[in-house]
Amino acid sequence: MKQQIEQRLHDLTAEFESGQTLLAELKNRQATLKSTLLRISGAIQVLEELLIEAKTDSNNHHHLPDYLPPTEAVLQPD
């Protein structure tokens, strides 16, 4: 009986440690995903603002360049 209890304790301890490791990995992946989504959200906002600006400029007969490299688009003042 004692041996069965010790074995069960060993099994549960190993399962618990495995679960803790997996939880830490998932938390890390969650943080990475949140960061990625934040960057994507920022890029979407910049592109939406560029579209609004392009529409406004086209109404005023101005022209934006056909292509803005991503760094110029992000760093361009409002």
9-22 pLDDT, tens digit per residue, is 999 999 999 999 99
Q: Total structural domains in the chain?
A: 1
Question: Would the pTM of this model clear 0.95, i.e. be above it?
Answer: no
Q: Where are the beta strands (DSSP E) in the chain?
A: none
DSSP one-letter code for 61: T
Residue type, 77: P
Are 64 and 54 in contact, with CB atoms under 8 Å apart? yes
Distance CA 46, CA 53 (A): 10
What's at 5, amino acid-wise? I
Please write the tens of the pLDDT for every residue from 8-65.
999 999 999 999 999 999 999 999 999 999 999 999 999 999 999 998 887 776 555 5
CA angle, residues 30, 35, 36, in degrees to nearest 5: 95
Q: Tell me which amino acid residue 66 is.
A: D
Token pair, residue 59, equals: 């109404």
Query: Which residues constitute the domain of residue 42?
Result: 2-75
